[in-house]
Amino acid sequence: MSIIRNRLYQFKQELLSNKDRAWYSHTNLLTAVDLLITDLDNLDESDWIRVNDEMPVERDSMFAKFKGTNKWKTGMFEKTSRDVLVTVEYDNGKRHTEVAHTVDGRWKLEMRILNARVIAWKEKPQPYKGDKNVSNM
């Protein structure tokens, strides 16, 4: 939904910066609605990032400070990413989605999967915040 949020912020800035209020024309409002509809139509697919194009940002792990010292042990890793959603594709072409992260540039899934590979990823969505129109009893 960040695409829609960014578009709405763009419209808000245009409204605030236009002192004569000419932005409220029928054509401008229709264009704004058309842009939002296009953004919504593209939302599901546009959030996915192919692993060939980009990988999640990795940060130093708690072991990074030991790299290159005698304290560095097998099983330690230098970099790790946050959890993201991934699409896994099997050799037979079937796909499913699960949560994974990277460790030193390699994908780590909760369960090891044979004959499959991660082909795309995207940020995990924000948690459900509840219905603002329904009172909690």
Interval 23-35: pLDDT, tens: 567 677 778 888 8
Mean pLDDT of 64-84: 95
Residue 135 maps to a domain: no
Cα gap 48→77, rounded to integer Å: 27
Three-state secondary-structure class, residue 14: helix
Residue 5: which residues within 8 A CB-CB, separation 6 or more? none
Domain that holds residue 20: 2-46
- The structure's pTM equals 0.62
Q: Verify that 78 and 111 share a domain, yes or no.
A: yes
How does residue 63 score in pLDDT terms, banded at 50, 70 and 90? very high
pLDDT on residue 40 = 75
Instruction: Tell which wins on pLDDT, 127 or 2.
Output: 127
Q: What average pLDDT does this structure show over 62-69? A: 95
Distance of alpha carbon 84 from alpha carbon 100, whole angstroms: 6
Same domain membership, residue 74 and residue 60: yes
